[in-house]
Structure 1
Amino acid sequence: MYQTWMRFFSPGPAHHRLGLVCLGVGLQHGALPTVGPRTLDHHVAVVISAGAGWYRGADGRRTTVTAPALLWLTPGVPHHYAPDPGTGWDEAFVDFAGPAAATYTELGYIEPERPVVPLSDASGPRAVVARIARAARRGNPLLEVETGAAVHELLVALRRARADLAPDGDQVLQALARDACAPLSVADHARVHGMTPAELRRAVRRAAGCSPKDYLLGIRLGRAKELLATTELPVAAVARRVGYDDPAYFSRLFTRRVGLAPVRFRAQQGRSVPGGWSDRVPDPDDPPMIHSPDTAETRPGEPIG
């Protein structure tokens, strides 16, 4: 016995131009029928949160699937899968398509070469699928945009839930982020971690979907933007703060990546924040707020921003 619920959508051309569209969503559990063999022209993420079964891909090999796990069904790839008939499984699926799928594949969020991915916890992805299911109510005027936006969120949730990665990134990425503004080359960072540059490149590519150079550059430029927007430091001093001794090189690099020279970025984004700047990540349950003087929740001396 099994139970199933599913909805399918037909987004228009304008929705496809948003990058990703949701084509369908389903929630199923029990001893479900075998799927395939078949080949699709779009992507499907199948999240298995309980139970076990098997998957067979284009190579003909049968792989055991044990929850929590993700099945990637990718365009043009034959596949065949089913839960164990004796136990069944608990499954949620989302069909999607769009030009952004190629970029997510390039970044390592979608893995065609690894159709069965162990997850550490399926609750995050299942929560996103549940939101897509709620958005699928008949007559929802925001259906295509709401579900399409949720596909982006689902890909992030699936990436975060992979069992081979820590929830917030591995230790190498955390250490690189901590030391990103130090005047160190990629080779220097590799030596700090007892790795060869090639090993560091593979680790960062696997975890972040980019090279160590691009990962460090993103952090450095983000910090440079903060300094340009919230301080009156000269550009040369900002360059040194984020790891560049040559301010001219920093300015060229900033302009090429950001699209604006540092001085133009400051002219657009600069603001006076005396006593109000904080680099602490806000608590979502206690966000910064402006309170009126007669509000009981006012906390004297607490910085805003």
Structure 2
Amino acid sequence: MSKHTWVRYFTPGPVHRKLGLVCLGVGLQYGDLPDVGPRTLDHHVAVVVSSGRGWFRGGGGPVLDVVAPALLWLVPGAVHHYGPDPATGWDEAFVDFTGSAVAAYTELGYVQPERPVVPLSDATGPRTVVTRIARAARRGNPMLEVETSAAVHDLLVALRRARADMAPDGDPVLPALARDAFLPLSVAEHAARHGMTTAELRSAVRRAAGCSPKDYLLGIRLGRAKELLAATELPIAAVARRVGYDDPAYFSRLFTRRVGVAPVRFRDQQGRTAPGGWSDRPPEPGDPPVAEDAPRAPGAGGPG
């Protein structure tokens, strides 16, 4: 069986490393490829196997079957040894990356050092991002490091969406929580509404969104509060009630602590004065306007 290998490696400078994630290399390989390792690395690698099968062994652990589509996580300092089945070979794409942002992606569950082999539902999305990195890797590209850095972020999102053990948008409980986010309910009451214990809800939200139910709900509430502050003239107390807080003083303290400025100050910074005042019914977040529906500025002409 023939084999094919295309690989590029990069050495980002100190300024590019401040981006938080940097790409160190990209490769596209298929066929009867040689085994890799045993070895250790000082950076992360995501290996996407889109066809074929093979095996993986980490450290002194058991040999794990790899059946495409699948993801292999290679993490710094961990011994790994893997390769395709000689009878079938496999088609793989890999991206080497590092940076300070990896810790946050790991905490959020996008990078899973404890799961070296992750089944995927479909490798198309991740492979599309890897192809973007490969195209950006042309020699002489002045934006090489920035383009590939941005693509690593996209790759981690694509890999999260492609995981076979989760729906692309996370656990079904998330849309239900978002729908009920503005009700004055405790986390325990939210759990009861979904027939779950508090621990089960915490586990589901942590697995799907990488945060606690409290933080997930708070993000939705404060996001909507910002929209109301910027696009309406509703009093602060009314904004607080609309996003689930009966006590406007508590809402103001919470908003200030999390956002960094008080609600009144946020409105001063983000709001715009409109003749006759703003409507108190801004567009709903789930129904955004599209470009062709945007109102024209007075006197704006159409295409010639």
TM-score if structure 2 supplies the norm length?
Answer: 0.93
Residue 34 of structure 2: aligned partner: 33
State the alpha-carbon separation in 1 of the partners of residues 232 and 165 from structure 2: 40
Residue segments in structure 1 that go unaligned for 5+ positions in a row: 297-305
State the alpha-carbon separation in 2 of the partners of residues 288 and 122 from structure 1: 36
Residue 154 of structure 2: aligned partner: 153
- SS of 2:219's partner is helix
Q: In the alignment, is residue 278 of structure 1 matched against residue 279 of structure 2?
A: no
Q: Percent same amino acid at aligned positions? A: 74
Q: In the alignment, is residue 122 of structure 1 matched against residue 123 of structure 2?
A: yes
Contact kept in structure 2, 1:186 and 1:212, CA below 8 Å: yes
Question: After superposition, what is the alpha-carbon deviation per residue over 1:8-55, rounded to whole angstroms, capped at 9, x for unaligned?
Answer: 000001111110110000001111110000000000000111111111
Residue 134 of structure 1: aligned partner: 135
Residue 102 of structure 2: aligned partner: 101
Contact kept in structure 1, 2:53 and 2:67, CA below 8 Å: yes
Question: After superposition, what is the alpha-carbon deviation per residue over 1:124-178, rounded to whole angstroms, capped at 9, x for unaligned?
Answer: 1111100000000000000011101111111111111111111122211111111
Residue 196 of structure 1: aligned partner: 197
Residue 177 of structure 2: aligned partner: 176
Deviation at 1:278, TM superposition (A): 2.5
Contact kept in structure 1, 2:30 and 2:92, CA below 8 Å: yes
Residue 218 of structure 2: aligned partner: 217
User: Which residues in structure 2 correspond to 1:225-236 (within 5 Å)?
Assistant: 225-236=226-237
Deviation at 1:289, TM superposition (A): 4.6
- SS of 1:164's partner is coil
Deviation at 1:294, TM superposition (A): 4.1
User: For this pair of structures, how many residues does the alignment match?
Assistant: 295
State the alpha-carbon separation in 2 of the partners of residues 139 and 260 from structure 1: 44
| Superposed CA RMSD | 1.8
Bigger Cα displacement from structure 2, 237-246 vs 169-178? 169-178
Q: Which amino acid aligns with 1:278?
A: P
Residue 253 of structure 1: aligned partner: 254
CA separation of 1:274 and 1:250: change in aligned 2, threshold 3 A = closer
- SS of 1:65's partner is strand
Q: Which amino acid aligns with 1:226?
A: E
Q: Which amino acid aligns with 2:283?
A: S
Deviation at 1:60, TM superposition (A): 2.4
Q: In the alignment, is residue 242 of structure 1 matched against residue 247 of structure 2?
A: no
State the alpha-carbon separation in 1 of the partners of residues 151 and 302 from structure 2: 40
Residue 269 of structure 1: aligned partner: 270
- SS of 2:29's partner is strand
Deviation at 1:247, TM superposition (A): 0.5
Residue 85 of structure 2: aligned partner: 84
Q: Which amino acid aligns with 2:120?
A: L
- SS of 2:125's partner is helix
Q: Which amino acid aligns with 1:93?
A: F
Contact kept in structure 2, 1:173 and 1:204, CA below 8 Å: yes
State the alpha-carbon separation in 1 of the partners of residues 28 and 280 from structure 2: 51
Contact kept in structure 2, 1:282 and 1:288, CA below 8 Å: no
Question: After superposition, what is the alpha-carbon deviation per residue over 1:245-279, rounded to whole angstroms, capped at 9, x for unaligned?
Answer: 11000000000100010000001111245599423
Bigger Cα displacement from structure 2, 164-173 vs 183-192? 164-173
CA separation of 1:294 and 1:102: change in aligned 2, threshold 3 A = closer
Residue 54 of structure 2: aligned partner: 53
Deviation at 1:223, TM superposition (A): 0.5
Q: Which amino acid aligns with 2:17?
A: H
Q: Which amino acid aligns with 2:14?
A: P
Contact kept in structure 2, 1:48 and 1:69, CA below 8 Å: yes
Residue segments in structure 2 that go unaligned for 5+ positions in a row: none
Q: Which amino acid aligns with 2:24?
A: L
Deviation at 1:282, TM superposition (A): 4.6
Q: Which amino acid aligns with 2:74?
A: L
Runs of 4+ displaced beyond 3 Å: 272-277, 280-284, 286-296
State the alpha-carbon separation in 2 of the partners of residues 165 and 32 from structure 1: 30
